[in-house]
Each structure stands twice: as C-alpha cells, then as structure tokens.
C-alpha cells in the first residue's frame, strides 16, 4: 500500500502558533519527533518519501544502534502493518511553521510558511493543498 503524497503541499495548521518557520529544539535531553524530522528534511530536500520519514523518524528515536538491513526491513514491515498517522499530524506543520512540499515522485522537502515557494505552491492549481491537523478543536 502506498502512503505517499504526490504534487502536494501540506500547509501549516490553522492554529499554528508561529508566523514563520522555526527550527525545533529537543527537550529533556532527547530528540523529539520534530527535531528528527527537521534534521532529515532540512539536510536532504526531496530525498525521502512520507513513508521514509515516518519510519526513519520512529527508528532514529529507538535505541537500536547498527541494525542489519534484514532487521531494518523486518522492522519497517512491522511498522507499516499497523495504521500510521500521516505527515499532516507532524509537529513541523502543526507547531513550527513548516509546510511539507511533495514532488511528482512523492519525495518531500521543508517549505517555510513565509517563503515565496510556499505561497506559489499554495496557489498552484496543479498542487493538491492539504492542511496539517489542528492541535486543538475549533
């Protein structure tokens, strides 16, 4: 089953508390999901798919150094055997002001809400625009 988005912008949530993209910081000595996802996407735009980001951000927060490719694949299969929240639920577009831009191959890049690119994608008729999930009920 393909969980990826194509030619899509996940726009920041309506109740996002910031007005521009903010770099997330860890808390309590442990990297948060936001920090892990930000590091992945800021360092490698249009490299990862949504499935890659969901799995890798989960895996990087586990205490499993140096696992084999076979074990990695088994963990990935197990991870996706259960329902997973999509990146619309990511803290990056919900709390930190980062849109998530997906290209035609389903690869994702960060797009700060104050950028020209974000506005162009939001207004592009060929791009599907989905809002990030709200943090609170309306």
Q: What is the pTM of this model?
A: 0.91
The per-residue pLDDT for range 70-91, each reduced to its tens digit, is: 999 999 999 999 998 999 999 9
The per-residue pLDDT for range 95-138, each reduced to its tens digit, is: 999 999 999 999 999 999 999 999 999 999 999 999 999 887 66
Give domain status of residue 31, yes or no: yes
Which residues contact residue 130 at a Cβ distance below 8 angstroms, ignoring those fewer than 6 apart?
A: 5, 8, 9, 10, 11, 88
Quick check: 53 and 40 in contact, CB under 8 A? yes
Q: Enter the tokens of residue 70.
A: 């076979």
Which residues contact residue 25 at a Cβ distance below 8 angstroms, ignoring those fewer than 6 apart?
A: 35
Structural domain boundaries, residue 56: 8-131
Give domain status of residue 37, yes or no: yes
Rounded Cα distance, 93 and 89, in Å: 8
Domain count, the chain: 1
Give domain status of residue 41, yes or no: yes
């Amino acid at each position: 089953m393909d969980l990826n988005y194509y030619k899509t912008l996940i726009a920041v949530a309506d109740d996002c508390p910031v007005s521009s993209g903010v770099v997330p910081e860890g808390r309590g000595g442990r990297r948060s999901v936001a920090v892990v996802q930000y590091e992945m996407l800021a360092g490698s735009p249009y490299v990862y798919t949504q499935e890659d980001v969901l799995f890798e951000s989960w895996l990087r927060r586990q205490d499993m150094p140096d696992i084999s490719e076979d074990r990695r694949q088994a963990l990935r299969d197990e991870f996706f055997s259960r329902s997973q929240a999509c990146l619309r639920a990511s803290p990056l577009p919900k709390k930190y002001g980062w849109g998530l831009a997906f290209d035609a191959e389903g690869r994702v890049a960060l797009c700060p809400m104050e950028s020209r690119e974000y506005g162009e994608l939001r207004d592009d008729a060929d791009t599907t625009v989905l809002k990030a999930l709200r943090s609170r009920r309306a």
